[in-house]
Amino acid sequence: MRDNLLDRLSESLDLPAPQQDVFVSGHTACPGCGAIPAIRAVTRIIGPNAIYLVPASCASLYVSPPDTTALQAPVIHTVFAAAFAQAEGLAYALKRQGRDERVVVWAGDGACYDIGLGGLSGIAARGADVLVFCNDNEGYQNTGGHQSTATPPDATTPIGRPTADDAPATSQRKDLVEILAAHRVRYIATASPAFPEDLEAKVKYASSLSGFRLILLMTTCVTWGFEARHSMRLARLTVDTGYFPLYEVEHGVRYRITYEPPMRAVEEFAALQKRFRNGDLVALKREIAQKWEDLRFKAGRYPDGAKA
Amino acid sequence: MVTSDRRLINGAEAMALAFNLAGVRVAYAYPITPQSEVMELLASDPNITCVASDSEYNVLAGAEGVLWAGERCAIATASQGLLYMSEVMWEVAGNRLPLVMGVFSRAVKGPGWCLGAQQNDVLFMRDTGWLHFICESAQQMMDLMLIAFRVAEKVSLPAIVSGDGYYVSHQKEPVYVPDLASSRQFVGDPPRQGLPTGGTAASYGALVPPASFLRLVRHIYEDMESALGVFVDASAEFADRFGRRYSPVDFLCADDADTILVTAGSIGGTAEHVVRMLRQQGMRVGLARMRCLRPFPAAMLRHGVRSAKRLVVVDRNLLYGIGGAVAAETRLALDVLSGPRPSVYSFVAGLGGIDVTPEMLMAAVEYAETKPPTVGRPLFVTEAGVEG
């Protein structure tokens, strides 16, 4: 129940009523968790008429603490690799029953890039009517900041260091958007909670479509080694340094860059976090340059734009 | 009025038909021998949305999703496929989703590939919270599948209905197929209360404190125990309607028997033949056939065999460090008897799909009637006889 000044103002000014928060207080995420503004924004846009699935992740803990839940919609907590197929099965059953709830997965990079990649690939290839959010905080942060295949080059984690004689450390990470683009899925986008208008447009558009859709969210994690107060500043820098491009891909081929970053120095982003202290950023800068070269090439193929 | 159609079909066809008769509208499929025919039949059923999934793990996860909507789902697997599902099996039971899964047992890849029948795949799942009914024929597959839906949905736990690969899955036999209307009436509608609905805040399977976890686990334990009574009631109604009666453990000539053969699965048919033959020769031999392995009908088994001198348990499975699974559970079932109790002889036969012949079962009976039981290890029976 919202009965505040803003509501009454918007009524008197004949503005559209503000959307209700679906993710409310009571969660147990860390101070400075970059996923919270993201999940708030996403769930507010999608609304409560949805069934959410959460595989093993921080969200298994912070969304529904014992005997309560911060999400004002049903949420199914499941094991690490099972959320994608489960969402697909649910979507088929709802369709068979003529129900209209949306099926939404809120998964981390561990579930999407690593242990659940087979399941994600499966439902992507089958065009399941599921909207997936990959909350990419670049590692297994819940267990203590361990390396995933989304962990950037030059970062140090408790199980990997960016040194030449340490073979298991990541020298390059997977590109999830490209993996899914190769599946020719209906819609893929990247988004950041630090760019709320861009995020809102993408979530709204994805919600209006059916079939497989995935939005990759870059969210900051205090395990990166920064002060909580810098969380949103870092989130902006992931985008403004070109480290995390904002773009979308339709049907796996139509690319559109949705924000032109000022390309601030990546050192500015790296210096705020402890995880890059052992890296010289050479590999990271090369990755960023190659990503933009590839992205510009692909975005230029269809000048009509992604939605044509 | 109940009408039954008598058809020459195998266990795979019986399983697929049973899913159809139960009103299943969604199926998840992934091929594995000897189950693949079930999948092909489900995919060709125009009333079923059949999803060709990418692994057995995701078959079970997909089916779990279907069940979350209060919708039934058809799935079947074997061997490696079942093992691959095992993580999700705990969760499906924990979420109290009454999924019914068909399994055609096949040896698991240990020392090498072997595609023959062996029950270690299903027996590995004994602790997961799934009910487990086991068949020896295509007719039993048809019937126990329908009964399994009733029991699973009544106690809110998932169920495996298994048969030995090839012996049950591939062998054609005349099967009475009940008509659609009577089957649907018997099975009833799937329960839908308490499941996720858009707009209603609720969390499922979230983090719970240890005290709550204990409470939830104990509920599962108690409801699993109660499933025996539910099976008996459902089975009685099934017998009234369709004329075939099943008990969690079916006895034959056991009342006055000195020696009782105990089997689970396809060996039961051969054992029945052997018991009738030995009875004709005047030997006091009986038979106990397990239909329900989870929950294990310990009291019923104990009551039925209490006056016998010896039990000859023949297992088509081998638990490393233990021996035969049914023998081990039979020993536990007898544990509460005070005073004289039957000696338990544990025989292991037919691993990897080797045929278990009447001669092998007779050799086991003869061994038990002339020699003391071995302690701590099973006896292997082959065509050459009992190996000590």
Q: CATH number of the domain that B82 lies in?
A: 3.40.50.970
Closest CA to A240 of A216, A218, A224: A218
Facing B61 at nearest CB: one of A71, A82, A99: A82
- Same domain flag for B143 and B236: yes
Q: Where are the domains of chain A?
A: 49-299
Write down which residue in B217, B242, B267 finishes a domain.
Answer: B242
Minimal C-alpha gap between B149 and chain A (Å): 18
Write down which residue in B225, B242, B259 finishes a domain.
Answer: B242
Mark the ranges of chain A whose per-residue pLDDT is less than 50.
Answer: 1-2, 167-168, 306, 308
Compute CA A300 distance to the chain's CA centroid, rounded to the nearest angstrom. Answer: 25
Measured between CA atoms, the residue of chain B closest to residue A115 is B57
- B26·A75 Cβ contact <8 A: no
- Same domain flag for B106 and B137: yes
What is the average pLDDT score of chain B?
Answer: 96
Give residues 188 to 217 of A whose Cβ lies within 8 Å of B: none
Measured between CA atoms, the residue of chain B closest to residue A116 is B58
Facing B63 at nearest CB: one of A51, A89, A100: A89
- Same domain flag for B87 and B233: yes
Q: Return the percentage of chain B with pLDDT > 90, whole number.
A: 96
Give me the pLDDT at residue A169, please.
53
**What is the domain range of residue B360?**
249-387
A49-299 maps to CATH 3.40.50.970:
yes
Cα dist from B46 to A42, A99, B43, B382, whole Å: 38, 21, 8, 46
Which three-class secondary structure state does DSSP give residue A162?
coil
Helices (H), chain B: 11-21, 36-43, 56-68, 79-94, 120-123, 138-155, 180-187, 210-242, 267-280, 298-305, 325-334, 358-370
Tell me which residues of chain B have a C-beta less than 8 Å from any C-beta of chain A.
Answer: 25-26, 28, 49, 51-55, 57-71, 73, 87-88, 91, 196-209, 212
- Same domain flag for B235 and B270: no
- Same domain flag for B93 and B45: yes
Give me the pLDDT at residue A161, please.
65
How many domains would you assign to chain B? Answer: 2
Contact assessment for residue B213 and residue B173, using Cβ atoms and an 8 Å cutoff: no
Closest CA to A191 of A132, A115, A150: A132
In a domain, B277, yes or no: yes
Measured between CA atoms, the residue of chain A closest to residue B70 is A93
ipTM: 0.95
- Same domain flag for B30 and B119: yes
Facing A86 at nearest CB: one of B51, B52, B64: B64
Give me the pLDDT at residue A308, please.
47
In a domain, B196, yes or no: no
- Same domain flag for B149 and B279: no
- Same domain flag for B295 and B278: yes
- Same domain flag for B55 and B92: yes
What's the mean pLDDT in B96-123?
97
In a domain, B192, yes or no: no
- Give chain A positions within 8 Å (CB) of B206: 60, 63-66, 69, 75, 77
Cis peptide before B34 (omega within 30 of 0): yes
- Give chain A positions within 8 Å (CB) of B58: 82, 84-85, 118-119, 122
Contact assessment for residue B124 and residue B98, using Cβ atoms and an 8 Å cutoff: no
Task: Please write the tens of the pLDDT for every residue from B234-287.
Answer: 999 999 999 999 999 999 999 999 999 999 999 999 999 999 999 999 999 999
Q: Please name every residue paired with A106 in a beta bridge, in sequence order, or none if there are none.
A: A133
Give me the pLDDT at residue A10, please.
56
Q: Is B87 left (phi over 0), alpha (psi -120 to 50) or beta?
A: alpha
Q: Return the percentage of chain B with pLDDT > 70, whole number.
A: 99
CATH code of the domain containing B351: 3.40.50.920
Taken in order B297, B302, B308, B309, the sign of the CA dihedral is: positive
Which three-class secondary structure state does DSSP give residue B62?
helix
Task: Please write the tens of the pLDDT for every residue from B253-267.
Answer: 999 999 999 999 999
- Same domain flag for B227 and B355: no
What's the mean pLDDT in B28-55?
96
- B49·A125 Cβ contact <8 A: no
- Give the global pTM: 0.94
Which three-class secondary structure state does DSSP give residue A210?
coil
Neighbours of A168 (CB within 10 A): 8
Cis peptide before A18 (omega within 30 of 0): no
Give me the pLDDT at residue A1, please.
39
- Same domain flag for B266 and B383: yes
CA distance linking residue B246 with residue B139, whole number of Å:
12
